[in-house]
């Protein structure tokens, strides 16, 4: 089963190194393959470098696609992290 959600990047610096690292660490906790898509670009949520190459800035919408046994839990956790602006103080 494949699950897909659209999320809005809300933090000031977007998906920069620290935010990408948090997202990758979180994604690695689940038994799921999670892909992040920004326009024509896509990357594994497990890859910090891949996530940074997406160039996802504040105000951009990203697609989060999950497959695997923990896909729903992974997407819920990622959605919460994005909604909390990657725990950054703005």
Cite the DSSP H helix spans in the chain.
17-27, 48-53, 71-83
In whole angstroms, how far apart are CA 43 and each of 31, 51, 52, 73, 90? 17, 6, 9, 19, 26
**Which residues carry out catalysis?**
16
According to DSSP, the residues that pair with 67 across neighbouring strands are 2, 33
């Amino acid at each position: 089963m494949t699950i897909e959600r659209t999320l809005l990047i809300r933090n000031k610096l977007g998906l920069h190194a620290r935010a990408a690292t948090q997202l990758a660490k979180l994604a690695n906790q689940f038994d799921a393959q999670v892909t992040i898509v920004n326009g024509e670009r896509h990357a594994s949520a497990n890859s910090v470098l891949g996530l940074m190459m997406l160039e996802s800035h504040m105000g951009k919408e990203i697609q989060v696609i999950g497959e695997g046994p923990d896909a729903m839990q992974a997407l819920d956790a990622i959605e919460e992290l994005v909604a909390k602006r990657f725990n950054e103080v703005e």
